[in-house]
Structure formats: C-alpha cells, structure tokens
C-alpha cells in the first residue's frame, strides 16, 4: 500500500467543504481559569480509576491560552471550517446564575481570529460538559436540564450570534445516553441500562429548543450531530438478526427518527420503555434542520446476548477487519460508512436534509515526544479510505456536503486520557508544543487538489 494513498475526488460536488474538529474539554486546558465552573467531566476525572493512568485534562494542548497557534494551523491546512465547542461552564458556571464575560470573550476572540484567517467558525453548543450542579439535580434524566440548556443557548446566541452563524446543537447524544448513563464508561458514570432512556428525549428536546433560539438569532445553519454506526449481525441466525435490530434502534433510530420523522420507533415492540414525551415535544424536536450531522468511526457487529445478560445483545469483533489503537472495539471498514449513508437515504427519503460528516478519524500508537513529523501512514490510509467511502455515497446520489477530520490536535481522549492520539497535529502533553504530522500535509494537499 502506498504511503500516501490518493482519493478519487470526482464524486464530490463543487463547493464541498473540508473541515477539522476539536472539543472544549479535550483541548482547552486551563480548567481553573477565569471563573470556569465544574462539569461532569471534571467530576469524572477526579474519580479514582475512572480515567486511564489517572490523567487529567490539563494542560494538554492548552488551547484556551494558545488558540492562535491552532488558527495558524487551520489556515495552513486550508480548511473551510473549524468545528470547536463552547464550554457551558466557561460561559455560565451555574445555570440560572451569572454569565462569565471572560468565557464569552475567549470564544469571541477565537471566532474573530478564525474569520480573519478565512476559516468559518462552526461551533458546537454542547460537547458533553454538563454543569455539575445540573447533574446533582438529575442531569439529562430530568426535563429541567433541557430547559436550562435552552437558556444557555440564548445567552450564547445573543453574545456570539453576530460572528458565529453555523451551529451544531448537541454532539453525540447517543454517547451521553448509552456510555454516560446506561453503562457508566463515560461521564457522569451512571449504570442505569434501560433506565437511561429518558436522557435521549431530554437531549433531543434541548436540541429543539436550541434550534428555535439560534434561528431567531439569525443563524445560517443549525443541526444536530450524532455518532452513528452501521450495525452488522454476527450471523443470519434469527437470534443475531433480532439482537442487531434492537441495537440499531438503541444506537441509531431512537436518536435519528424523532429528529427526522417526528416520531420515535416502536420501542415497545422491542421491549424498550417508552419515552417521556409531552405535548409539543416532537414538533419542536423535528423542526427541519439545515443539515444532519453524522460522526462515524466504525461499524458494530452484534450477536445475541448470553442468557444471563441484562441486555439482549452483545457487541463482538468484526471478522477480518483491521483495527485502530482501540483494538477490536474500533474495526476499520470504510465501506461501512458508504453503507450507513445509503441506509439513511433509504430510511428517511425526502425527510433527510443535506448530510455533514461531523467527525471521522482514528488513533494509532505514537510517541509522546517528537523532534519532527510523525509518519502516520496508518491514519492517512484510514482517512483516504473513509473519504473515498463518502465519495462513493455521493456518486450514488446521497447529498453529503462536508467532511470533518477528528481531530486537528492530539487531545484528551475522555476515559482513555492521553493514551489515544487522533490528531493531524502531534501535541506534547507536557509542553503543549504542536508538530504537524504527515497526515496534516496529506490532508492539506487533498484540500488543495479538491479546489484546483
């Protein structure tokens, strides 16, 4: 395999956008600066054994103090947009309490510097950093959290809406619900299994409230972004097919259906409790978006769960697939992204707005300290394969308009701490020094070729 594989750019329409992404908690560092409050991730990091190697999120890239270096990298990369997130607890440490002007000023500076560099700011309102005080009151299990999020969205829209016109509302509600509340591997670390399902509805309600607020502020584009996966049954046995169908509902359809169709799938048919829907909720949740965001990393192979399992499915290795630094949890199957995009088109038809790939990338073992570019050929191959997969879907008529690499920078990878490196740019986590990798140059050349 060549070190720098080429990509067939012919299926991508004129004006197709190329982007890179980060998230506040993962790159900002400076967690105690300027009155920032505590989020559920601060609490999770402080829980013994919750994060690998006992890592914390400081200093890391320290983008709160060094964001101009990030903007310079983005300008050199040539991306159309930069996806970053706004930390709720930097803006409003306690919902209902005073606003921290220093936090808003940081995001104002970031947006202004991006615009001056010719990069469109594409902000995410919520990337998992729920204020701790709200979690103490029930978190996403309670309807009140959605209402408080609506207030936060209004604060941000009024303060930054003149500069930031393109918005993601929430990032990956599936990860919050399934990993955060159902099995506890992410913050807030609860293990409620099916008892976590109200968090789905309340996050989607928060999305609907934010869409209404951002539109009123003059936003040009607003949409939600979720992690989706192509679910593959482990075999054609009835038990495996049923297990895969249940998992598809829980990972994909329970999040996408209400946004795109105004109704939840028939949960009771799968033995799943109904959602706590109140009058008017689904109309708010399903207000047409300007795009639908899909984060994609890997397919998921599902088998029937063992008889003593509390859930009717088991996630198993995908046969024959190479893997990323996460091992068998993250198989590399680029064609699965094509399949997922085609499935979305078939499932939702004319209700499906234009699609945006909001995250796609891979981690591989890399040194902590470098004195030159990392030759990350595995990452280049991963990205090339998945960009080709997007192109194949576009060639088959799927309206996809943007591709976003996760991530611009090596960053704090949640419960895996500093052990998984996704960046196009290597970060020395002791000094915060940034060193572009070979994949940075490869992506820069691809973007330049696409515009030629």
* Residue 43 assigned ligand-binding role: no
Measured distance CA(340)–CA(229) in Å, rounded: 7
Q: Are strands 221-227 and 231-233 parallel, antiparallel or unpaired?
A: unpaired
* Residue 26 assigned ligand-binding role: yes
Burial of 402 (0-12, 13-18, 19+ CB in 10 A): buried
Q: Which of 170, 178, 188 is nearest to 38 (CA)?
A: 188
Measured distance CA(38)–CA(93) in Å, rounded: 7
Residue in the block written with tokens 């515009």: 451
DSSP 276-332: ---TTHHHHHTSPPS-EEEE----EEEEEPPTT-SSSEEEEPPTT--EETTEEEEE-
- The three-point CA angle 128-57-97 to 5° equals 50
Measured distance CA(170)–CA(189) in Å, rounded: 19
Tokens of 73: 């990298």
Tell me which of 28, 135, 154, 172 is the catalytic residue: 172
Contact 400, 341 (CB under 8 A): yes
Residue in the block written with tokens 């399903």: 286
* Residue 413 assigned ligand-binding role: yes
Catalytic residue list contains 172:
yes
* Residue 279 assigned ligand-binding role: no
R_g over Cα of the chain: 21
* Residue 128 assigned ligand-binding role: no
Measured distance CA(348)–CA(329) in Å, rounded: 28
Q: Residue 114 belongs to what H/E stretch?
A: helix 101-116
* Residue 369 assigned ligand-binding role: no
* Residue 414 assigned ligand-binding role: yes
**306: number of Cβ within 10 Å:** 8
> DSSP character for 272?
P
Tell me which of 28, 135, 154, 359 is the catalytic residue: 359
Distances (CA, A) of 274 to 162, 243, 365: 40, 19, 42
Q: Mark the binding-site residues, compressed into ranges.
A: 26, 127, 171, 297, 406, 413-414
Give the residue numbers marked as catalytic: 172, 359
Residues at the annotated binding site for substrate? 26, 127, 171, 297, 406, 413-414
């Amino acid at each position: 395999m060549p070190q720098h594989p080429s990509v067939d750019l012919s299926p991508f329409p004129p004006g197709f956008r190329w982007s890179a992404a980060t998230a506040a908690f993962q790159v900002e560092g400076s967690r105690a600066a300027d009155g920032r409050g505590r989020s559920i991730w601060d609490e999770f990091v402080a829980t013994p054994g919750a994060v690998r190697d006992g890592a914390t999120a400081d200093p890391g890239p320290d983008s709160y103090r060094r964001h101009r270096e990030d903007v310079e990298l983005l300008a050199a990369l040539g991306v159309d947009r930069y996806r970053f997130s706004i930390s709720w607890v930097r803006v409003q440490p306690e919902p209902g309490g005073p606003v921290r002007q220093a936090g808003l000023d940081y995001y104002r500076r970031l947006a202004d510097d991006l615009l001056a560099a010719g990069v469109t700011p594409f902000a995410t309102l919520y990337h998992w950093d729920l204020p701790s005080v709200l979690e103490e009151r029930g978190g996403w299990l309670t309807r009140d959290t959605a209402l408080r999020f609506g207030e936060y969205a209004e604060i941000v829209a009024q303060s930054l809406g003149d500069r930031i016109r393109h918005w993601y509302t929430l990032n990956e509600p599936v990860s919050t619900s399934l990993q955060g509340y159902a099995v506890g591997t992410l913050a807030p670390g609860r293990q409620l299994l099916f008892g976590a399902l109200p968090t789905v509805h309340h996050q989607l309600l928060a999305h609907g409230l934010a869409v209404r607020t951002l539109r009123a502020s003059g936003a040009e584009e607003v949409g939600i972004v979720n992690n989706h996966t192509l679910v593959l049954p482990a075999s054609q046995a009835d038990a495996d097919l049923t297990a895969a169908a249940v998992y598809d509902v829980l990972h994909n359809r329970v999040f996408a259906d209400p946004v795109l169709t105004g109704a939840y799938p028939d949960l009771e048919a799968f033995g799943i409790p109904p959602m706590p829907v109140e009058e008017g909720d689904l109309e708010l949740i399903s207000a047409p978006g300007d795009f639908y965001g899909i984060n994609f990393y890997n397919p998921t192979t599902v088998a029937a769960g063992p008889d003593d399992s509390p859930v009717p499915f088991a996630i198993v290795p995908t046969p024959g697939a190479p893997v990323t630094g996460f091992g068998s949890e993250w198989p590399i199957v680029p064609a699965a992204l094509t399949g997922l995009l085609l499935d979305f088109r078939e499932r939702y038809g004319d209700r499906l707005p234009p699609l945006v790939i909001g995250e796609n990338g891979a981690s591989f073992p890399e040194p902590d300290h470098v004195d030159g570019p990392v030759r990350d050929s595995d990452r280049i191959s991963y990205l090339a394969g998945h960009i080709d997969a997007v192109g194949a879907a576009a060639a088959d008529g799927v309206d996809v308009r943007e591709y976003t690499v996760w991530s611009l920078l090596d960053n704090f990878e949640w419960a895996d701490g500093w052990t998984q490196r996704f960046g196009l740019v290597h970060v020395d986590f002791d000094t915060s020094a940034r060193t572009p990798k070979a994949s940075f140059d490869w992506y820069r050349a691809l973007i330049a070729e696409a515009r030629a």
